[in-house]
Amino acid sequence: MHYYVPEGKAAIEIVSGGSSGGIQTVETLEKDSTYKLEFVMGDANNSCVGEFIVGAQAGSKAQNFTMHSQGIGFAQNCSMTFKADSSSPTVISFVSFTTTKSRDLVFCGPVIDKVVVQSSNGVKHDIELRIVAFLIVFLVATLKVNG
């Protein structure tokens, strides 16, 4: 099966709901500077239908983004502006507040792709997202329960 990827050759699908799973990275940003977090949110063209709600957080700023998925490979651009709170590295994270299953009863969820942080002076940082350890634990637990 070929999944829909909004940009490039790979994206991350968040398949758990609530605070039990997500993705995050840590970036060193300049304290008190304003940044814009841009990303693409979509579905993987895997029959995952429903309303997707993704929470994005950068430092202390959090915002929810919503899209309605028909499961046919749709994507939309999302963005939010935030200020780097401290001289400590800034945590940038995404969590899905949606848990759903495809027609084949496989867990599925929103796809996050093409994450970019742009400073107010125009410098862009392409962000490499890393899967959080608790997502892996969730997936293993889910496989054991369903397997």
Predicted pLDDT of residue 94:
92
Predicted pLDDT of residue 127:
62
Instruction: Choose between 91 and 86: higher pLDDT.
Output: 91
Cα–Cα distance for residue pair 26/118, rounded to 1 Å: 15
> Which ranges of the chain does DSSP label H, i.e. alpha helix?
133-146
Instruction: Choose between 122 and 89: higher pLDDT.
Output: 89
* Residue 16: band (very low, low, confident or very high) from pLDDT cuts 50, 70, 90: low
Average pLDDT of the residues in 11-29: 77
Note the pLDDT tens digit of each residue in 50-82. Answer: 899 999 999 999 999 999 999 888 899 999 999
Strand partners, 26: 91
* Nearby residues of 37 by Cβ (< 8 Å), 6 or more positions away: 56, 58, 79, 80, 81, 82, 92, 115, 116, 117
Strand partners, 117: 37, 125
Note the pLDDT tens digit of each residue in 29-49. Answer: 888 899 999 999 999 888 889
The topology under which CATH files domain 12-146 is: Jelly Rolls (2.60.120)
Domain spans, the chain: 12-146
Predicted pLDDT of residue 142:
40
